[in-house]
């Protein structure tokens, strides 16, 4: 399997499909999943003639289950290691949830300084800051994230069934069409990874203040968010992020869940393509 070895000797698994001379689109997955979560988008865009790349974050999927580095700085540096190894230029970086935070940190600290990024997309993304603080009084209280850690530590296998079966895809809403295969695939991806990486990743996605990352990004950036996102509330994320971005566009979707890239892939893919081609 293809791997890139980072400067701190972590093996990062990646997929690289499509023509090597085509414009690359790089996908960054959410917690606690893997690059497989982008299946619907990678197939769609490779069939449109793009080069599509996605990697498993350290401690997730098929990448090394290392003890250290489960923070946004390492996530972004690992992504840059893949980009450098594959010599990707003029790339479009698309991130979902925690992967959106990874994209914001990557573009701000690596992508723009290296001149390798053309555009960015934040899908149901965690920036600028999820945690409630004195400076962010609208955020979610710490006990919400403490509850996630407790559930993961007590019974990760059950927690990783309950989350996708409930709020992640909006399957807990009255009248929702529940897809058992989607639930099982979420569980499969989660259980491939390291429980330590997942536990520490909760701090990374909830406590990392990315206000300055967003302010420093100058490339065109599309922000997509479901209005019924029960995991990353739109008011705490997209509606704040768009005010910080210098060159941002916002599109929201009534009734769409946090997992809209999977259960509403037809709609999301069309909007991603329009932005990529713009």
What's the 3-state SS for 238-261?
Answer: HHHHHHHCCCEEEEEECCCCCCHH
- DSSP string computed for 15-45: EEES-TTSPEEEEEPPTT--GGGGHHHHHHH
Q: What is the DSSP letter of 56?
A: P
Active site residue 258: yes
Active-site residue, from 225, 229, 236, 241: 229
Active site residue 97: yes
Active-site residue, from 63, 64, 97, 124: 97
b/e burial code for range 111-131 (CB count within 10 A of at least 16 → b): bbeeebbbbbbbbbbbbbbbb
Q: Which strands form 11-17's sheet, in the order they lie side by side?
A: 3-5, 11-17, 51-55, 24-28, 91-96, 117-123, 221-226, 248-253
Cα three-residue angle 5-199-181, rounded to 5 degrees: 85
Whether the CA torsion 136, 138, 141, 145 is positive or negative: it is negative
| Residue 124 backbone dihedrals phi, psi, to 5 degrees | 50, 45
> 236 with 205: CB under 8 angstroms?
no
The residues that are catalytic are: 97, 229, 258
């Amino acid at each position: 399997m293809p791997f890139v070895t980072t400067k701190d000797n972590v093996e990062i698994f990646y997929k690289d499909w499509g023509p090597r001379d085509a414009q690359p689109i790089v996908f960054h997955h959410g917690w606690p999943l893997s690059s497989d979560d982008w299946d619907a988008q990678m197939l769609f865009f490779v069939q449109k003639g793009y080069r599509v790349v996605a990697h498993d974050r350290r401690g997730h999927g098929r990448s090394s289950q290392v003890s250290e580095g489960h923070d946004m700085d390492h996530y972004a540096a690992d992504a840059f290691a893949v980009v450098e190894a594959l010599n990707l230029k003029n790339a479009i970086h698309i991130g979902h949830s925690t992967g959106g935070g990874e994209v914001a940190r990557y573009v701000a600290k690596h992508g723009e300084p290296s001149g390798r990024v053309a555009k960015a997309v934040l899908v149901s993304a965690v920036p600028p800051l999820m945690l409630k603080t004195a400076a962010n009084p609208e955020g979610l209280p710490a006990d919400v994230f403490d509850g996630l850690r407790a559930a993961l530590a007590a019974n990760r296998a059950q927690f990783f069934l309950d989350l996708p079966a409930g709020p992640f895809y909006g399957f807990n809403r009255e009248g929702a069409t529940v897809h058992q295969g989607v639930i099982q695939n979420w569980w499969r991806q989660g259980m491939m990874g390291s429980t330590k990486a997942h536990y520490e990743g909760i701090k990374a996605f909830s406590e990392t203040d990315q206000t300055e990352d967003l302010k420093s990004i100058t490339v065109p950036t599309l922000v997509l968010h479901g209005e019924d996102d029960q995991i990353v509330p739109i008011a705490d994320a997209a509606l704040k992020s768009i005010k910080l971005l210098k060159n941002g566009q916002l599109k929201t979707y009534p009734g769409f869940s946090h997992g809209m890239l999977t259960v509403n892939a037809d709609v999301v893919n069309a909007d991603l393509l329009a932005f990529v081609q713009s």
